[in-house]
Amino acid sequence: MESPFKADILKGKVALITGGGSGIGFEITKEFGRHGAAVAIMGRRKSVLDSAVSSLRSLGIQAIGLEGDVRKKEDAARVVDATFEHFGRLDILVNAAAGNFLVPAEDLSPNGFKTVMDIDSVGTFTMCHAALKYIKKGGPGRGTSSGGTIMNISATLHYTAAWYQIHVSAAKAAVDAITRSLALEWGTDYDIRVNGIAPGPIGDTPGLSKLAPDEMKIDLSTDSRPLYKAGEKWDIAMAALYLASDAGYRKHNWPSDPFV
């Protein structure tokens, strides 16, 4: 699809996307790359990473795949270091890695609950924490005009209540809290923009095929979906692209302490 944005809006930027090998994460990665960014994708499955990287490179995108599990702080540190070593900077972190399955609360073991909390929420914080030293200024000593940006992909399940998603709802609520806290602290201290994107049901994703298998097909003709369709990965990628670009931010011109 033709992009509404100029092709070079992320030129010179480097992005690291967790869960960037499939679904929404891959779409964001592809659009960042098509708009000039060099991209590193992180995931647990080498075969998924390999196939995503080859498809990105076939589009002329500078891309690398880095195996790792966001639950492990050693993996997080290794992956952010490797991204910086390979591309020489790190401007954008997108936390799109997530775990999910449908299960009634009664049948969910505490370890199943913890597993999704660990991937979605602890993993998001772990990646942000590991990447901070590079994202602060696009890299140590780089002196770019502003700090970089972080985007956390959340959901809308926890705004009300969703059947068989207690673990994911709790995890995504925590992701939203992490987003707000980091936006406050790191925005103030380092000029880093921390934003959340909360997709509703998005078609053609591993998440939707797990959460709405054929036997529970979502009725898209109801007026609970005003556009009579599920969202598209493209919609999310365009929102991410806007937030990552200079269009998403106008640096303040305060000469000194703005609160004086």
Binding site for ligand HXC (CB under 6 A): 98-101, 103, 108-109, 111-112, 115-116, 155, 157, 168, 201, 206-207, 210-211
Q: Which is nearer to ligand HXC, 28 or 211 (CB)?
A: 211
Helices vs. strands in the chain: H and E counts, helices first: 8, 6
Closest distance to ligand HXC from the beta carbon of 6 (Å): 31
Q: Which is nearer to ligand HXC, 23 or 138 (CB)?
A: 23
Q: Which is nearer to ligand HXC, 139 or 207 (CB)?
A: 207
Closest distance to ligand HXC from the beta carbon of 204 (Å): 12
Burial of residue 55 (CB within 10 Å: 0-12, 13-18, 19+) is middle
Q: Which is nearer to ligand HXC, 10 or 52 (CB)?
A: 52
Element (H, E) at 194: strand 193-197
C-alpha radius of gyration, the chain, whole number:
18
Closest distance to ligand HXC from the beta carbon of 162 (Å): 8
Burial 135-157 (b: 16+ CB within 10 A, else e): bbbbbeeeeeebbbbbbbbbbeb
Closest distance to ligand HXC from the beta carbon of 173 (Å): 12
Q: Which is nearer to ligand HXC, 112 or 248 (CB)?
A: 112
CB atoms within 10 A of CB 249: 14
Residue that the structure tokens 């602060």 belong to: 136
CB atoms within 10 A of CB 238: 18
Which residues make Cβ contacts (< 8 Å) with residue 101, sequence separation at least 6? 112, 210
Closest distance to ligand HXC from the beta carbon of 58 (Å): 24
**What letter represents residue 212's amino acid?**
A
Q: Which is nearer to ligand HXC, 112 or 203 (CB)?
A: 112
Closest distance to ligand HXC from the beta carbon of 104 (Å): 9
Closest distance to ligand HXC from the beta carbon of 114 (Å): 8
Strand order across the beta sheet in which 14-18 lies: 63-67, 38-43, 14-18, 92-95, 149-153, 193-197
Do residues 32 and 39 lie in contact, with contact meaning Cβ atoms separated by under 8 Å? Answer: yes
Q: Which is nearer to ligand HXC, 98 or 151 (CB)?
A: 98
